[in-house]
Structure formats: C-alpha cells, structure tokens
Amino acid sequence: MNNRMRVFQAVFVVFSLAILPVASVGASPDPVRGKHAMVASQHVLASQIGAEVMKRGGNAVDAAIAVGLALAVVYPEAGNIGGGGFMLIRRPDGKAFAIDYREMAPKAADRDIFLGKDGKLIEGEGGSTVGYRASGVPGTLAGFDLAFRKYGSGKIKWADLVEPARKLAADGYILSYRLANLLHAYRNTLSRYPDSNRIFLNDGKFYQEGDLFKQPDLAATLARVEKDGAREFYIGQTARLIADDMKANNGLITLDDLKNYTAKEREPLRGTYRGYEIITMPPPSSGGIVMLQILNMIEPFDVKSMGFNSSTELHLYAEASRRAFADRSEYMADPDFAEVPVSTLVKRTYAAQRMRSFDPRKATPSATLKPGDLNISEGTETTHFTVVDPAGTVVSNTYTINDLYGSSVTAKGTGVLLNDEMDDFAARPGKANMFGLIQGERNKVEGGKRPLSSMTPTIVLRKDGSPWFALGARGGPRIISAVVQSVINVIDFDMDIQQAIDAPRIHHQWLPDQIYYEQFGISADTMNVLSSYGHKFADRPGNIASATAIMIDKDGVRLGAIDSRSDGAAVGY
C-alpha cells in the first residue's frame, strides 16, 4: 500500500471516529418539526442563531450566512471563514441560483508546486495536505457577501448576521465531549503551529469536556468584518495579517491573491429521477454531475423491487458509482480553466452507454474500466447545513477546509484556521490524493484556479414543482454516496427524511477498487454474495459521510434531520 493510500485509509478511519455510530432505519427518531421555518446544522447553537434570524424577518439566505459564520466558531474542524464552498438557493418563484465560493489557487502555484526534485510528491510540511503551502485563497466570506447583497431579505443588516458569531467567539461556549476529544486527536499537527497550539490545544494542556472555550483572536477578526464588511478579510487588517504570516512561513498566498479573490454565480445543474426534478451544483463541484450520472444509470432498473440494501441493489449501485467516478477522474475540473463536458455526462443516452458492460452477477474490475469515450465539443473536511424559511426559500450550503482542521495552520493574530484545499487539485495528475481519488490533467494546479470538489448541495422538487427536500453531507468523496443514496431512499423506498439519511450505505469511487461499508450496515450473507460477484471490501468498516437535510411535507411542515452518524441539531418554529 503506498503512502497516499495509507493516508486515505487513515482519513476514513479518523472520520468514522469523529462521528457517532450509525442507527438502523427502524431506530431512527422522528424528524424535528417546524410549522414555519427550519435550520439543520452540525451544532445546536448555530441552528438556534439561524432560526432567530428568520424570526426577526430575515430569509433563508440571511439565516444561512449567520449559521455559516457561527459554525466557524463552534465547529472549527469544518465550519470556517478560512475555506470555501457552494451555496444553492431556490426561491418560492421557482428561480434557483448557485454561488461558487470555492477556494482559489494562489498565483504562485503551478502544476509541479508539490513535487520534489525527485519528481515525487512532497509529504508533510511543504506538501498539499498540511502547512502554509497547502492553503488555497479562502472564499467563504466573499460568497456570503455575494449571497447577502443579491439574495438576502434586505431586512437584516450584515452586522447583525456577524454579531452572534463574534459574541460566541468572545464569550466562549461549552465544549462537548466529541469536540474536546477531536481536538486532542489532532494534537500532532495542530501543535506544529504556534497559534493553533495556543488556541485549540491550550498550549499543550488540552481542553476537557465542559470547558469554556473562547477564541479572542477570531472574535477580533469577526469584529472587523462586522464593522467594515466582508471585504475587510480580503483588503483590510485581516488580509495583511494572513499575507504577512504566509510570507514569514514560505506560504503561497499574497495580499494580491486575497484582493483578487471573487465569488461567482454559476447556472445550477438540473436533472430528474423518476420524474422528480433535482437541482444541484455544477463544476467545479463534481458532486452534482456524479450524482446525476449514477441516478441516470440506475433509473432503468426497478430498484424498489430489489429491496433496500439487498445484494442486487448494492451491486447495481456500486457498479454505477464506479463508472461515474471513473469519469470524474478524467473529465471534471474548474470550467473556467478546462473544458468540462457537462451536458454529455448527464445525458441518459450516455448513461445507457456506460452501463452496456454492466453484468447483474459480476463486478467490473476497475482496472479494466476506463473513463467513458466522449466526443467533447462544449465549451474530510466539510460541513453542510440546510435552511427553509417561512416563505419557502430553500438554501442548501456545503463548505469546507478539506481535512479536519484544514492545513492545521491558524494565521497569526486572526484566529482563522486555514484550509488545505490545494490537495483537491491533482498534485500529480493520475496519482491518488489524500482521499484516494485519482484526478486527471484537467484538474492540475494552476494559479487562480478552483480545485475540483465532491460537495453536493442538492434540492429535490415534487412533481408539481414545489420543494420536497434539500440535503447535503460532509465527508470528502463519500459526500456523493451519502446524498445519492439518501435521494434513492426517499424516492424508491418511501423513507422519511430522517430514515433516509440514517440508513446504512456504501461507497465505491472506482479506485481503489473496493467497497467501503459501514459496521452493521451489510449482513454477512450479503457480503458473501457480493464477494462471489468479484467485489472487494475495505479492510475495515467506517461511516460513509454524514448528511443534514430538511423535508417539507404536504401540509407545509418543515421536517429537520441530522444524521445519527454525527452531532448537531435541527431547530424550527
């Protein structure tokens, strides 16, 4: 096993340890009910803040911004202002919008930035996964600012959305058992960087469950952003602090990189599954395309009659997933830098072509399965939250700093944990990244480019065009599997939203050629059948991502759901 695969296996195990054991479908609690509005996020304090914003007249976009800023304080392993992501918005008039605030590569980055003189990938400090050179230019505040200016209610001031997060950072909050232990688990990397060691590890004395955790540096940064607006992060004192710390530590991000960062609007990607419209994120997120490809490949089959979690159903899913991920490796990247054949990849005729080699009783070895032959002619760690407001506006937002605690670097004097998103580029095209994903030349490192992502914020509509449910997940490439299988669980197996995201699931990403599975998620008999087909299983089980969702029932009641694999809370009224 090479070093990159060892890292992937370690990430798979650590992520599983960071979230709670999965519940069975039958053991799932009822979703949280709210007659008017709902917020579902990974921390109860953030969800409460979002609900309060809507009670004061804000819309789902306002609430989502307040939730995202609060998570930067109370969920530091993934919530952030030092990373980036995607926000999907659908208004009651049916119009949908996609905001891309993915991180960008610094101008100084190039194709071989993470290769040593021997042509091998640099591991550790100086590489793409840890330290100052691992960070892309953060986009979160720019994305929130764009969403606020264009799609906010106009009834809530920017400062009022930042203040709750600033107050949490200044006054502190009580650490949970999970977060206290997770901080300790990441002590080896966080301790390498003085501000990270001081803030998150208490200078090596470590925090315990029940401690009051304050972040005064982050509070000061949020105070500047509250007073001077989101641009302060990119051109003000915060920008200078980040750039100076980068320069002092051989980092890549400069003041010009921060000044020149822009969030972008993209056209949402749309598809259907069994007559239900699906709205999701286009590139540079791969999640939407891969999800629609998988659904297109399995739609001709009577999945419901196969039975949930049967060997027949899991075999079909694994085979469709391996084909879609093979295409991901070759064709997907930042559309501003590379030709991405979106319309071809999501065609049903192309899905049928990809499934011609499907054998209902035999696994297709990934070594023999190449990306599809296209005639191209067209120009871990993560968190997700979902918001529905009283008017019916839906926001599905996923953002990330990549690995848990990102690059482990906290920019000096800012309290801001920076991402290690440069690893989502193909640091060496054709070789695996930290998640074991193979990525092609289209996703090579280039200055100003956005790395490919697996984030999959999604909104599903009823056949009458009204919003039905919205969801997303955390967990690297496993995000896609969590979202796709949750959609299948609702549509094909008639599960409620809590059951759908709690249900056991699997993950197959083409390479490595193996099924990742959950403890108690597959019976021994089913594994034996799948093994007889030629499927290989990962050495050990681990949770397949963690989803967050809201469903709107036929009476308009909002139903919030937090995956039993993780913590968090849905708050409605």
**Active-site residue set:** 382
Burial-class residue 161 by CB neighbours within 10 Å (0-12, 13-18, 19+). buried
Q: Side-chain half-sphere of 267: how many Cα atoms within 13 Å?
A: 5
Q: How far apart are CA 356 and CA 470, in angstroms?
A: 32
What amino acid is encoded at 309 in this protein?
Answer: N
Q: For residues 443 and 451, is the Cβ–Cβ distance under 8 A? A: yes
Which strands form 269-273's sheet, in the order they lie side by side? Answer: 32-34, 558-562, 546-552, 467-474, 458-461, 276-280, 269-273
For 113-192, where are the alpha helices, taking DSSP H only? 140-151, 158-171, 177-185, 187-190
For 265-346, where are the alpha helices, taking DSSP H only? 287-298, 303-306, 311-331, 342-345
Cβ neighbours around 230 below 10 Å, total: 22
Cβ neighbours around 155 below 10 Å, total: 12
Q: For residues 98 and 153, is the Cβ–Cβ distance under 8 A? A: no
Rg of the chain, C-alpha, whole Å: 22
DSSP label of 21: P
- Number of H-type helices and E-type strands within the chain: 20, 16
Q: Is 233 left (phi over 0), alpha (psi -120 to 50) or beta?
A: alpha
Extended beta strands in 287-426, E state: 382-388, 394-400
DSSP H or E segment with residue 490: helix 478-491
Q: Which residues contact 491 (CB under 8 A, 6 or more apart)?
A: 273, 274, 276, 460
Q: Is the dihedral of CA 382, 455, 334, 149 positive or negative?
A: negative
Q: How far apart are CA 468 and CA 486, in angstroms?
A: 13
Extended beta strands in 475-568, E state: 546-552, 558-562
